[in-house]
Amino acid sequence: MDLYLASAAGNVFGYLWEDEAKDCSGEDYAKILCPKGSGFGLDGLFLMQRPEMGPWRLEHWDTDGSKSFCSNGSRAALIICGAPGNALVEAECSGERILLRREGNRVGIRMPEGAGFGLSAVPMTTAWPAGFGWIGNPQLVLRVPSVAAVDLPAFAPPLRHHPAFPGGTNVNVVEVLSPGEAKLRSWERGVEGETLCCGTGSAVTAAWLAQTDGPTDWRIHTAGGEVVDVSLDLGADGSWRDLWLSGPVRRLGVVHPDPSMLLGLRP
């Protein structure tokens, strides 16, 4: 079995073609192949359908086996051998409709939009100015004086599991450096830890900053040291259109998991 590896803005994902991954479910593959130590230390796992007419279909699982929409992993999927070769690719990740765009060594993604997507009121009181948005997953954003000063492993989990968010939420802390430029750190549910870049968190953060500060184009400095660019049109009601996130992607290679990793899961 070929497990393709690629990274987007520092996060590393594994990819399997659905027609070759028949031993167990995507949830099981994620729990086996992703964890550090016993697996490959991945930020998530994708099953990919072969490109056909219509949207290219991807399914993503977090390291804990929960299915979710993942923007960075969707971006990196476009450089996997066998992916569609068009400059613009209509795709669907875990049920969310997206558009992928090649940009040299970068890939852009137009985030899900329409009814239900956008900014809304924060359903709780916070110590810092905060925003909240749904982008195929929930994103809480808090503006702090310094992201480096935040003890994220202590700060984020109580918010991630707060009862105001049924099913939990991702937690992002942002520091504005100048108009249109900010630093971001993100604690992701499913991973249950800080990642080098949460693409959906970066997008919702930029949308909220567009609402509070004005600029609709943002350069987001990620925890991994790379920069992602976000642009959007924001409605007065907090809904967005053409919410694009672009950043670097890298093809890392192909590995072959030892068959013993799957023992006990085959029927």
- How far apart are the two ends of the chain, measured CA to CA in Å? 17
Gyration radius from the chain CA atoms? 18
- Domain spans in the chain, listed from the N-terminal domain onward: 3-112+250-262, 118-245
Per-residue pLDDT at 114: 95
Q: Are 71 and 244 within 8 A, CB to CB?
A: no
β-sheet bridge partners, residue 245: 109, 230
pLDDT over 70 at 266, yes or no: no
69 or 263, higher pLDDT = 69
At 6-17, the pLDDT tens digits run 999 999 999 999
Average pLDDT over residues 140-152: 98
The predicted model scores a pTM of 0.92
β-sheet bridge partners, residue 185: 173
Per-residue pLDDT at 264: 54
Kindly tell me the burial class for residue 22, based on how many C-beta atoms sit within 10 Å of its own C-beta (0-12, 13-18, 19 or more): exposed
Per-residue pLDDT at 67: 94
Architecture category of domain 118-245 in CATH: Roll (3.10)
Do the domains 118-245 and 3-112+250-262 match in fold? yes
The model's confidence at residue 170, banded by pLDDT at 50, 70 and 90, is: very high
CATH number of 3-112+250-262: 3.10.310.10
pLDDT over 50 at 267, yes or no: no
Average pLDDT over residues 53-60: 92
Task: For residues 59 and 207, give the distance between their C-alpha atoms in angstroms, rounded to a whole number.
Answer: 25
Q: What is the dihedral of CA 237, 238, 239, 241, to 10 degrees?
A: 120
Average pLDDT over residues 21-42: 89
Per-residue pLDDT at 265: 57
Under the phi-then-psi rule, with left for phi > 0, alpha for psi from -120 to 50, and beta for the rest, what region is 205? alpha
The model's confidence at residue 1, banded by pLDDT at 50, 70 and 90, is: confident
For 23-27, 65-69, 173-177, which range has the lowest pLDDT when averaged over its residues? 23-27
SS3 state of residue 138: strand
Q: What is the dihedral of CA 27, 29, 34, 36, to 10 degrees?
A: 110
DSSP H or E stretch at residue 207: helix 199-213
